[in-house]
């Protein structure tokens, strides 16, 4: 390896693979258009598209459920629908959004498509297992939707016992079975990613040349593997309790309902990092590309991803500060929750430093990335409020929590998803989307999001509890404001669905690298050929070897 | 155990891998990753059983007294022997003795089947002794000690889950044995035996954890 | 008593020293939050403008060692936030350990109502009256699922578990009436499972205990039980089940299917609730009412019957009203 670092100016670049000189029919998207070739594909790129289509459908279902919730809350007295209908609406919103949209969104779509490209491989390690994971995902969705069609489930996405096991009269079992099944889809995807990243990197592609997107997905996959089995056990026990009353969560038989909470949150807290880490990976690709500048603090950002995936396993009890657990446990979980904020802060500061002295273009992906940074910071810091024990006693289970996690999940993950979708759209489809519509939608979503969720912070500290179908009349103004924001947000979501689909037929044909971005995925055609690269790709000397380099410690890259 | 493969024994490279070494490494890492997830699944279950034991010691001991210790102990030996035959199958696969390997695999499946037969008998005995609290029709023998009911139910959840894994394992093993008996198998898919063998050892390991946690420490 | 918050306030009332300290903690933390985030937002906005592609800004590397920057922005914010961890932990621990001389009030939660039992015997449904100036400890338990008792004016909440007691203690120093909520989702009427907590001067509290603790709100308590047990769901107007209206029923004659006419008195109402299959009504009412035998404790049964005594007109509007 060359020992001299690069000092400003243009990095010496290897000659890259020639532009795809294939005819249109030979890229992965257009070669072979039979149903069989799609539904029995083992090509990671096609599987990514299968996931993209299905998660979009589930997003719509979850969003409609959210619409029902916000509609109900326009009036304080529950006049629009029964309490039971409301409870089913927020439950299905949570279940569908968490397990059938947020968790798979970036990993199963962008991760599947891009990881082999980014590391210079022809596919993932286990292509057939990859297809299996999609079918398992759809099987889980089937059972969950059965529950919805039969009449819904009203336990909340958290399924706390004994409400879910002994008191709810709704279709809990199909929902539990669906969620148990979909967990296996996560495990298979995570397994595939871990093995691929370890064993299939192109010659010369060392760990510290990998894009942060890959690091983020590696860290996410560790969580997939280590956390998901525990929720599987928790759900099996819940199913046994509801079906056979085995007694594990029933005090009358020596069981303990709080034990379920421990098992549930041991998975579900790391799960929220499954929902967050991939988005951070996306932002780490977009920001350098639109600043045309190397990512600042690459090693710190890489280590921060692993740090997040580790510490996240030790903070689950911060969901349980007020449920009667011991003071010592609460102290430990609170302290560790403060610690887990540090790696996230590291990333935010590094993205900001990357923009410093860059050469910025504010195209749609960058607008989403900048929106992400702002909203994620707000969401993350409000998490620290919740981690503070005395404050938690006031705002636990209020709208403050609802606002906090929507700032991260929507202001964070959904924005990262949309930013990534626009960034890599040319690569996936070979078409450019309409940039003006992209910018308008991004701004509409940003505005709609804040109008929807910022008032909820206020509602929370004013004392409005969550999962309330009716509420005191003095909260109506803020609720109406929030619901109004939700309509703006909904409009914002619809526009991309329209102009992106439009571009599939009428968009300008995309070049291999429309953004002048770095990364091996840009060294092949748009869309890529079936086996990713026509000739083995040239691994860069350093990652993010953009024209503008920061003066950093010489030993950053070996 | 020799790590070198005999002549004529090897792995046919799949299209998306660059080298056979890469393919083998991926398969091995893949099965280890899968087994870690399975270990966590069972560990969470065993942890719940241990919590019940810590919170309700007398009821747990009362329930465990009704477990069939000697069937459990015999089954432990049976599975350990099956791991031995599986290891033999792996070794035979490395040195290219295909017929011996097939016989070792069949022996492994037979021992696994023996475990299931003994377990089935054990469940029958449990049923006979009114130790199936989830059956409304047969009043539970220890009904006056409610936590005992919980412990017994957890015993069923854990052992049934293990039995499902064992049954799946035997089915996969028989399918693989059928393929492995064909000519040319060892030159193309030798590492399948090694990868599968890890899974079989894992099923054995789970039982080696389950037996003390459920049967032994509570006596 | 109407709560003193009919209009939307920007900041909820704090009625105890702990509540006030929690507010101080929140405000101080907000200051730190702004210190940590505003520079980031300003920087991003400034950079986005100054370093636009094509601008003349100086882009030469600044020569600062990045490891030092990285360690600094990891450690300094973390240590600053730890101040709040410690502060929050101290307030929290103090709020979990009641002084030994605290007055103990039992709180029992169940779908979908709260019952509070004063040490002198008075019971309240959904509402709670307490004196200021002395430590009060609530000993909380649930009869079914996990609930939680949330008192925003005190900045406190704690779960109500089905198998063991949990505690919440406070010493209020301001009078007033504020919201009392259930804050752990518990099923259909989770959002109406609440009422008001009234902080009273000790003298007023004693008066209340003596005079109105028993009677005041008894009709309201009865109404709550009438709704909580689902009576309103069938017997109120607008129900899809055409159950006979109970308004004005008490003391009136009732025609039975076997030809007799009886008077709807205490005993008859009690019997009909516990055994609806007996004494079937004439005039085409299909008997679908479930029996409440074993489901309503005797005391509450009496409260419901007392309510029916005074129930002369059905309430208009939905049964599940928001609590004022």
Q: How confident is the model at residue C58 (pLDDT cuts 50, 70, 90)?
A: confident
DSSP string, A504-530: HHHSPBP-S-TT---SGGGGS-SSPBT
Looking at chain B, which residue has its C-alpha nearest residue A190? B33
Per-residue pLDDT, C243: 82
> Which of A350, A465, A475 is facing C183, going by the closest CB pair?
A465
On the question of pLDDT at C217 being above 90, the answer is no
Residues of B with CB below 8 A from A128's CB?
none
On the question of pLDDT at B119 being above 90, the answer is yes
Closest CA to C183 of C171, C172, C194: C194
Looking at chain A, which residue has its C-alpha nearest residue B56? A254
The span from the CA of B88 to the CA of B96, in Å, is 12
Neighbouring residues of A88: CB distance < 8 A, sequence distance ≥ 6: A151, A152, A153, A154, A170
B28 vs chain A: nearest CA distance in angstroms?
9
Per-residue pLDDT, A16: 45
> Which of A195, A234, A237 is facing B26, going by the closest CB pair?
A195
A539 CB near a chain B CB, below 8 Å?
no
Annotate C282-292 with b (16+ C-beta within 10 A) or e (fewer).
eeeeeeebeeb
Per-residue pLDDT, A22: 52
Q: Which CATH superfamily is domain C222-310 in?
A: Cytochrome c-like domain (1.10.760.10)
Cβ atoms of A63 and A490 closer than 8 Å: yes
On the question of pLDDT at C68 being above 80, the answer is yes
The chains in contact with chain A, meaning 3 or more Cβ pairs closer than 8 Å, are: B, C
On the question of pLDDT at C128 being above 70, the answer is yes
Show me where the domains of chain C are located. 17-48+66-96, 103-215, 222-310
Beta bridge partners of C261: C255
C190 vs chain A: nearest CA distance in angstroms?
7
Residues of C with CB below 8 A from A549's CB?
61
Neighbouring residues of C230: CB distance < 8 A, sequence distance ≥ 6: none
Residues of A with CB below 8 A from B137's CB?
none
Total H helices, total E strands in chain C: 8, 12
Per-residue pLDDT, C314: 59
A148 vs chain C: nearest CA distance in angstroms?
17
Residues of B with CB below 8 A from A127's CB?
16
Per-residue pLDDT, B1: 45
The span from the CA of A338 to the CA of A315, in Å, is 9
CB contact under 8 A, C69 and A471: no
Could you report the per-residue pLDDT of C131-157, keeping only the tens digit for each? 999 999 999 999 999 999 999 999 999
For strands C195-200 and C128-131, give the pairing.
parallel
Residues of B with CB below 8 A from A240's CB?
153, 157
Closest CA to A83 of A94, A93, A69: A69
CB contact under 8 A, C322 and A76: yes
> Which of C57, C74, C95 is facing A342, going by the closest CB pair?
C74
Mutant choice from A170, A388, A446, A555 vs C, greatest count of C C-beta within 10 A = A388
Could you report the per-residue pLDDT of B10-33, keeping only the tens digit for each? 888 888 999 999 999 999 999 999
Residues of A with CB below 8 A from B16's CB?
121-124, 127, 531
CB contact under 8 A, B30 and A240: no
Which parts of chain A have pLDDT scores under 50? 1-21, 551-558
Kindly state the tokens that stand for A538: 């040239």
Looking at chain B, which residue has its C-alpha nearest residue A230? B41
The span from the CA of A539 to the CA of A526, in Å, is 19
Cβ atoms of C162 and C145 closer than 8 Å: yes
Per the model's pLDDT, the better-predicted residue between C215 and C260 turns out to be C260
Residues of A with CB below 8 A from B59's CB?
254
DSSP string, C193-231: S-EEEEEE-HHHHHHIIIIIHHHTTHHHHHHHHHHHTTH
CB contact under 8 A, A465 and C59: no
Mutant choice from B40, B51, B192 vs A, greatest count of A C-beta within 10 A = B40
Could you tell me the domains of chain A? Answer: 43-550 (1.20.210.10)
Show me where the domains of chain B are located. 20-216
Beta bridge partners of C170: C136
CA distances from B139 to A247, A250, A255 (A): 16, 19, 20
On the question of pLDDT at C319 being above 70, the answer is no
Chains A and C touch, using 3 or more CB pairs below 8 Å:
yes
Q: How many CB pairs under 8 A join A and B?
A: 103
The region of weakest confidence among A523-527, B215-219, C47-51 is B215-219
Neighbouring residues of C287: CB distance < 8 A, sequence distance ≥ 6: C276, C277, C280, C281
Q: What is the CATH number of domain C103-215?
A: 2.60.40.420
The span from the CA of A48 to the CA of A109, in Å, is 4
Looking at chain A, which residue has its C-alpha nearest residue C149? A322
Query: What is the DSSP code (8-state) at residue A5?
Result: P
Chains B and C touch, using 3 or more CB pairs below 8 Å:
no
The chains in contact with chain C, meaning 3 or more Cβ pairs closer than 8 Å, are: A
Per the model's pLDDT, the better-predicted residue between C12 and A12 turns out to be C12
Kindly state the tokens that stand for C83: 């101040």
CB contact under 8 A, B146 and A252: yes
CB contact under 8 A, A253 and B26: no
Q: Give residues 165 to 224 of A whose Cβ lies within 8 Å of B.
A: 187, 190-192, 194-196, 198-200
On the question of pLDDT at C1 being above 60, the answer is no
The span from the CA of B187 to the CA of A506, in Å, is 52
> Which of A192, A199, A225 is facing B36, going by the closest CB pair?
A225
A123 vs chain C: nearest CA distance in angstroms?
36
Per-residue pLDDT, C121: 79
Per-residue pLDDT, B2: 47
The region of weakest confidence among A463-472, B43-52, B62-71 is B62-71
> Which of A198, A244, A254 is facing B55, going by the closest CB pair?
A254
CB contact under 8 A, A463 and C12: yes
Q: Is C148 in a helix, a strand, or coil? A: strand
Question: How many CA atoms are closer than 13 Å to the CA of A255, on its beta-carbon side?
Answer: 25
The span from the CA of C193 to the CA of C322, in Å, is 9
Per-residue pLDDT, C241: 73
On the question of pLDDT at C322 being above 60, the answer is no
Residues of B with CB below 8 A from A112's CB?
none
On the question of pLDDT at C4 being above 70, the answer is no
CB contact under 8 A, A346 and C74: yes
On the question of pLDDT at C202 being above 50, the answer is yes
Per-residue pLDDT, C320: 34
> Which of A166, A362, A377 is facing C37, going by the closest CB pair?
A377
Could you report the per-residue pLDDT of B132-187, keeping only the tens digit for each? 888 877 888 888 888 899 999 999 999 999 999 999 999 999 999 999 999 999 98
ipTM comes to 0.94
CB contact under 8 A, B37 and A194: no
- Report the predicted TM-score, pTM, of the whole model to 2 decimal places: 0.88
Closest CA to B95 of B8, B192, B208: B8
Neighbouring residues of A332: CB distance < 8 A, sequence distance ≥ 6: A317
Looking at chain A, which residue has its C-alpha nearest residue C82? A338
Beta bridge partners of C125: C115
Phi first, then psi, for residue A202 (nearest 5°) are -65, 155
Closest CA to A317 of A302, A303, A327, A304: A327
Share of chain B above pLDDT 90, in %: 73
Among the residues of chain C, which ranges form H helices? 17-50, 66-96, 202-207, 213-215, 218-228, 231-235, 266-274, 298-310
On the question of pLDDT at B49 being above 80, the answer is yes
To the nearest 10°, report the CA torsion of B86, B92, B97, B99: -10
Residue with tokens 């009704």, as numbered in its chain? B66
CA distances from A124 to A131, A137, A398 (A): 11, 18, 43
B57 CB near a chain A CB, below 8 Å?
no
Neighbouring residues of C167: CB distance < 8 A, sequence distance ≥ 6: C96, C98, C137, C138, C139, C140, C158
Chosen CATH of B20-216 out of 3.40.50.300, 1.20.120.80, 1.10.1740.10, 3.60.10.10: 1.20.120.80
Q: For the beta carbon of residue C295, count every other beta carbon within 10 angstroms.
A: 12
């Amino acid at each position: 390896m060359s020992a001299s670092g690069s000092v400003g100016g243009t990095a010496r670049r290897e000659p890259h693979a020639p532009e795809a000189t294939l005819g249109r029919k030979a890229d992965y998207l257009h070669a072979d258009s039979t149903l069989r070739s799609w539904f029995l594909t083992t090509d990671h790129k096609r599987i990514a598209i299968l996931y993209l289509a299905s998660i979009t459908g589930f997003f719509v279902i979850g969003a409609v459920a959210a619409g029902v919730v916000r509609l109900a809350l326009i009036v304080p007295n529950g006049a629009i629908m029964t309490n039971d209908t409301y409870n089913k609406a927020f439950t299905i919103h949570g279940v569908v959004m968490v397990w059938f949209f947020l968790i798979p969104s970036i990993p199963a779509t962008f991760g599947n498509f891009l990881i082999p490209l980014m590391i210079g491989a022809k596919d993932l390690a286990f292509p057939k297992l990859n297809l299996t994971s999609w079918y398992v995902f759809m099987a889980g969705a089937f059972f969950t939707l059965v529950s919805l069609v039969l009449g819904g489930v009203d336990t909340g996405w958290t399924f706390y016992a004994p409400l879910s096991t002994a008191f709810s009269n709704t279709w809990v079992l199909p929902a539990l079975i669906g969620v148990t099944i979909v967990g296996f889809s996560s495990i298979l995807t995570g397994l595939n990613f871990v093995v691929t990243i370890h064993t299939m990197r192109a010659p010369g592609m060392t760990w510290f040349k990998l894009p942060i997107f890959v690091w983020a997905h590696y860290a996410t996959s560790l969580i997939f593997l280590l956390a998901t089995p525990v929720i599987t056990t928790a759900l099996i026990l819940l199913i046994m309790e509801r079906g056979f009353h085995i007694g594990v969560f029933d005090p009358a038989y020596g069981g303990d309902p709080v034990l379920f909470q421990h098992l549930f949150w041991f998975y579900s807290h790391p799960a929220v990092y499954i929902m967050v880490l991939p988005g951070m990976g996306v932002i780490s690709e977009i920001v350098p590309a639109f600043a045309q500048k190397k990512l600042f603090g690459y090693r710190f950002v890489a280590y921060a991803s692993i740090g997040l995936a580790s510490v996240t396993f030790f903070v689950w009890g911060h969901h349980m500060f007020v449920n009667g657990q011991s003071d010592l446990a609460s102290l430990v979980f609170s302290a560790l929750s403060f610690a887990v904020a540090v790696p996230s802060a590291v990333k935010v500061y590094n993205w900001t430093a990357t923009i410093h002295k860059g050469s910025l273009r504010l195209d749609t992906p960058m607008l989403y990335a900048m929106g992400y940074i702002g909203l994620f910071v707000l969401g993350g810091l409000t998490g620290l409020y919740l981690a503070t024990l005395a404050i938690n006693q006031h705002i636990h289970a209020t709208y403050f929590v609802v606002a906090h996690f929507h700032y991260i999940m929507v202001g964070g993950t959904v924005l990262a998803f949309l930013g990534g979708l626009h960034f890599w759209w040319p690569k996936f489809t070979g078409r450019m989307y309409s940039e003006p519509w992209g910018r308008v939608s991004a701004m509409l979503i940003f505005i709609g999001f804040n109008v929807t969720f910022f008032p909820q912070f206020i509602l929370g500290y004013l004392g409005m509890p969550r999962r309330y179908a009716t509420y005191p009349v003095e909260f109506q103004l803020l609720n109406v404001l929030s619901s109004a924001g939700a309509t703006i947000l909904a409009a914002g979501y619809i526009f991309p669905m329209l102009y992106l689909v439009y571009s599939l037929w009428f968009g300008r044909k995309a070049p291999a690298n429309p953004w002048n971005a770095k990364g091996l995925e840009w060294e092949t055609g748009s869309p890529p050929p079936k086996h990713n690269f026509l000739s083995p790709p040239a691994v860069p000397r350093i990652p993010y070897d953009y024209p503008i380099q920061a003066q950093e410690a010489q030993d950053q890259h070996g | 155990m020799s790590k070198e493969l005999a002549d004529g024994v090897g792995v046919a490279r799949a299209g998306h891998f660059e080298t056979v070494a890469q393919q083998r490494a991926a398969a091995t890492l893949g099965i280890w990753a899968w087994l870690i997830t399975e270990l966590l699944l069972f560990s969470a279950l065993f942890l719940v059983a241990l919590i019940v034991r810590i919170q309700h010691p007398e009821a747990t001991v009362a329930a465990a007294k009704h477990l069939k210790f000697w069937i459990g102990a015999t089954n432990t030996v049976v599975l350990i022997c099956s791991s031995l035959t599986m290891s033999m199958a792996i070794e035979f696969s490395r040195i290219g003795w295909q017929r011996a390997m097939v016989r070792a695999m069949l022996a492994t499946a037979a021992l696994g089947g023996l475990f299931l037969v003994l377990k089935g008998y054990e469940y029958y005995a449990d049923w006979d002794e009114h130790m199936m609290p989830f059956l409304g029709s047969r009043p539970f023998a220890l009904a006056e000690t409610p936590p005992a009911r919980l412990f017994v139910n957890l015993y069923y959840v854990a052992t049934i889950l293990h039995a499902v894994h064992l049954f799946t394992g035997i089915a996969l093993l028989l399918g693989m044995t059928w393929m492995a008996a064909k000519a040319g198998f060892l030159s193309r898919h030798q590492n399948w035996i090694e990868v599968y063998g890890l899974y079989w050892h894992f099923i054995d390991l789970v039982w080696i954890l389950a037996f003390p946690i459920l049967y032994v420490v509570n006596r | 008593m109407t709560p003193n918050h009919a209009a939307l306030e920007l900041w909820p009332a704090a009625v105890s020293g702990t509540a006030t300290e929690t507010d101080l903690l929140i405000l101080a933390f907000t200051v730190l939050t702004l210190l940590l985030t505003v520079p980031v937002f300003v920087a991003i906005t400034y950079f986005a403008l100054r370093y636009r592609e094509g601008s003349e800004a100086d882009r030469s590397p600044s020569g600062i060692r990045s490891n030092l920057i990285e360690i600094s922005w990891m450690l300094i914010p973390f240590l600053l936030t730890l101040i709040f961890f410690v502060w929050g932990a101290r307030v929290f621990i103090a709020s979990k350990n009641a002084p030994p001389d605290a007055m103990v009030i039992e709180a029992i939660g169940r779908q979908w109502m709260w019952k509070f039992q004063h040490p002198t015997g008075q019971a309240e449904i959904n509402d709670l009256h307490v004196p200021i100036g002395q430590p009060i400890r609530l000993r909380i338990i649930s009869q079914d699922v996990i609930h939680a008792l949330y008192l925003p004016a005190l900045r406190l909440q704690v779960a109500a578990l089905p198998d063991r007691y949990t505690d919440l203690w406070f010493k209020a120093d301001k009078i007033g009436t504020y919201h009392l909520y259930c804050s752990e989702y518990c099923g259909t009427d989770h959002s109406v499972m609440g009422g008001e907590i009234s902080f009273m001067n000790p003298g007023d509290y004693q008066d209340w205990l003596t005079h109105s603790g028993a009677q005041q709100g008894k009709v309201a308590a009865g109404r709550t039980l009438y709704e909580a047990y689902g009576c309103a769901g069938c017997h109120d107007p607008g129900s899809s089940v055409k159950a006979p209206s109970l308004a004005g029923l008490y003391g009136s004659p009732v025609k039975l299917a076997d030809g007799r006419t009886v008077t709807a008195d205490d005993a008859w109402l009690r019997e009909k609730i516990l055994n609806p299959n007996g004494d079937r009504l004439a005039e085409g009412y299909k008997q679908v009412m479930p029996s409440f035998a074993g489901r309503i404790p005797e005391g509450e049964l009496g409260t419901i019957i007392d309510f029916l005594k005074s129930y002369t007109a059905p309430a208009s509007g939905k049964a599940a009203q928001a609590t004022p």
